Structure 1
């Protein structure tokens, strides 16, 4: 298999002369730390290389049970317990209609909108339902509230059978959710203690929901395994993830403050959201870090394309492109040619989309926007697994290059503390 599953290039490197040799020592040191660390949440690094056949079998067994006995699965989670599964599901399943080898998977606990939870409950009446609640602690406010509501709904609707229709993914030893699951005899999957939330998509956190949605989790994990092998090289010259991290760091030191992840396939919109959490929560500390933003082309070319092309020079663009998309459609010939589009007749939409990508990249590069291109052969489970691991490895390196810990999130804990203080104060007033 080719060692170039993902190609990283800088479109306008003529004004971005990076001396990669100056990074060799720091990259090698960080690489050794990541490979050898026993104290941090680095279990994801070698997880794809481990024997996971038993785990895959158990996930597939429950997934098949859910598909046989339910019309939909409600996944309760937030942040890393939600974004990864949703990203993969949307990227690898059809835009419209019933999934070919899966059932509908919807999400709760990622917000505290009363309208959302009320309308979700109303939508369940005519459908058979399973629930998968995902939380390491069980005490995060948003999913905990959603689980309280939906657990009561399931118990009222299914009685004693409710315990067979609720699957818990949580810490193997501690936490409120672990205690609830044990008391009610819910079936459980484990979130590995040495893997943090935003790095957990290739664990049961993401694998069960996407298996129910019809995604081939074996192929996904094979892609991640291939990445884990190819990106185990500490030499910057042979590690595309580290090369991408170094390019980001070089642009950061030149004063660019925003990285704009862009793609031309609308199915990737939720993958963008996963990427934003991964990099934003890993790097944004100690008044440091690039701000991760995203755009979906060609829609956003007609929304903020003007700013990207000619606005403040604060951003660089990372353009994600898959050369082959499973489905396509050919532009038909029209004898009257009233819309003057016959020059595109018999060309495919995907081919036109690729040309649009090329034109956009050239225009932005010529306009002075640094453009990084990340290219993969095909949008499928294997290459998507590769891409997910690629970004996680690059993110860890990127954070350490600016001397921050990629695996904590003190700012998130600060908001939770303040929210709890305000809610407690309101309760006292009552």
Structure 2
């Protein structure tokens, strides 16, 4: 089996020597063992490791999804409303946003709610839905996460007015199998529902019903997605460093960290991968950022951000390394026309494809950044497809778990996110938070 994901380290030579790789290899092997044997901390959340195989063979899931999709089409549905935040919605959005311009057919339109609290945006989306025929997918393991819970209250109220008691047949929940506020409401109202696996955390859940249900219903081929992930799941378990792209990527990240570069800049010259970067930031940020450890994940989209961050990347503090996500065979259709009557200095580009120019810009930028003291790791996929996106997502999930274990932390919890939530609940007057509210209000008075 050939590689789905290739890692090019030609512009990261300053990060490592053969001895560095040799010295780090025992950490990789031990971390690999933690994942495969489920012996590391947080092992109760390693269910994502086998998801591609499990989901590909879940005939009941595919049958239910096909029946639901047929119903949605029969009812002349205009749009799907997807309510969720973080890993509960981001994984599906990655695939939808990346694939929408590459498919020979149109996906069912989707409106995202519950991923922030900006009232003008929410109000506008609700207004758009007034004259639309729609179904709503609500994704929340507990049903008590603030942003999606508020969004669902608003959408549910609107759906009741629009559809009456029949609204419940247009709500699909993806939640805990037995417990939680959303499970209780699902049982009470008779919503169709799918299960969030107990052993899969939100940011690792894209290949579970959390991501697969909305993807299938809008028109994505999830079998191709899962097949790409399944094939990659075999490649990342190879013990040989030279043959394992995840080993290579994780090694370079840690060697960069050890050499005073604690920031990783994720870049791409393909805007269709914008949400891959957003998903990647949550994946690595929540997994590694604890115990005062971890690499800070940041991102930029080129060539756009070269006109804003390019100067800093080239000559600013040398405290980061760059990971470029590249596409070997990008979409090729547009050719630059000849316009000799236009004095823009671009006539020398006439006849060239825009994709060719973009690829040259990528190579030129990578060399410039490397020459400026920024090590560059290049990660490539052959082309944009659901298959290779599935492989890429699994590659990053596995790399993240591997990297977290190399930091000797639990890659599957996120205790730090409770601090801001507790403060917010206290200041909003949630019962049980009265003492914290009193302390916070005293501090606010001094600001």
Counterpart CA distance in 2 for 1:288 and 1:166 is: 41
Contact 2:15 2:259 in 1 (8 A): no
Deviations 1:317-372 (A, max 9, x none): 00000122345311112243532322212211111100100000010011110000
Cα deviation for residue 86 of structure 1 reads 1.2
Structure 1 counterpart of 2:38: 37
Structure 2 counterpart of 1:85: 92
Structure 1 counterpart of 2:296: 291
Cα deviation for residue 122 of structure 1 reads 0.7
Report whether the alignment pairs 1:325 with 2:330.
yes
Contact 2:88 2:202 in 1 (8 A): yes
Counterpart CA distance in 2 for 1:57 and 1:302 is: 49
Q: Say if 1:249 and 1:68 are closer, same or farther in 2 by CA, change over 3 A.
A: farther
Deviations 1:189-220 (A, max 9, x none): 11111100000011111112222332221111
Written as runs of structure 1 = structure 2, the 5 A alignment for 1:90-129 is 90-94=97-101, 100-129=105-134
Q: Which residue, out of 276, 285, 293, partners 1:280?
A: 285
Q: Which residue, out of 52, 72, 89, partners 2:79?
A: 72
Counterpart CA distance in 1 for 2:78 and 2:149 is: 24
Deviations 1:97-156 (A, max 9, x none): x99242111110001122122111111122101100000111111101111111111111
Counterpart CA distance in 2 for 1:355 and 1:68 is: 47
Counterpart CA distance in 2 for 1:420 and 1:99 is: 47
Counterpart CA distance in 1 for 2:58 and 2:282 is: 26
Q: Say if 1:372 and 1:230 are closer, same or farther in 2 by CA, change over 3 A.
A: same
Written as runs of structure 1 = structure 2, the 5 A alignment for 1:331-370 is 331-370=336-375
Report whether the alignment pairs 1:163 with 2:168.
yes
Contact 1:27 1:236 in 2 (8 A): no
Structure 1 counterpart of 2:262: 257
Question: Counterpart of 2:261 in 1: which secondary structure?
Answer: coil
Written as runs of structure 1 = structure 2, the 5 A alignment for 1:203-222 is 203-222=208-227
Structure 2 counterpart of 1:23: 24
- Of residues 10-19 and 194-203 in structure 1, the stretch that sits farther from structure 2 once superposed is 10-19
Q: Say if 1:129 and 1:247 are closer, same or farther in 2 by CA, change over 3 A.
A: same
Cα deviation for residue 411 of structure 1 reads 0.7
- Of residues 181-190 and 80-89 in structure 1, the stretch that sits farther from structure 2 once superposed is 80-89
- Of residues 61-70 and 194-203 in structure 1, the stretch that sits farther from structure 2 once superposed is 61-70
Question: Counterpart of 1:11 in 2: which secondary structure?
Answer: strand
Question: Counterpart of 1:46 in 2: which secondary structure?
Answer: helix
Q: Which residue, out of 174, 192, 199, partners 1:194?
A: 199
Counterpart CA distance in 2 for 1:12 and 1:325 is: 22
Structure 1 counterpart of 2:53: 49
Counterpart CA distance in 2 for 1:240 and 1:222 is: 18
Counterpart CA distance in 2 for 1:24 and 1:335 is: 58
Counterpart CA distance in 2 for 1:179 and 1:242 is: 43
Structure 2 counterpart of 1:132: 137
Question: Counterpart of 2:325 in 1: which secondary structure?
Answer: strand
Contact 1:242 1:393 in 2 (8 A): no
Structure 1 unaligned blocks of 5 or more:
none
Report whether the alignment pairs 1:240 with 2:241.
no
**Cα RMSD for the two superposed structures:** 1.9
Question: Counterpart of 1:324 in 2: which secondary structure?
Answer: coil
Counterpart CA distance in 1 for 2:46 and 2:185 is: 28
Structure 2 unaligned blocks of 5 or more:
438-447
Written as runs of structure 1 = structure 2, the 5 A alignment for 1:217-232 is 217-232=222-237
Cα deviation for residue 302 of structure 1 reads 0.3
TM (norm. structure 2) is 0.91
Report whether the alignment pairs 1:421 with 2:426.
yes
Deviations 1:27-85 (A, max 9, x none): 11111111121742111111112323432332243234324431001100000011111
Contact 2:16 2:255 in 1 (8 A): no
Contact 2:100 2:107 in 1 (8 A): no
Contact 1:224 1:386 in 2 (8 A): yes
Question: Counterpart of 1:369 in 2: which secondary structure?
Answer: coil
Counterpart CA distance in 1 for 2:222 and 2:395 is: 17
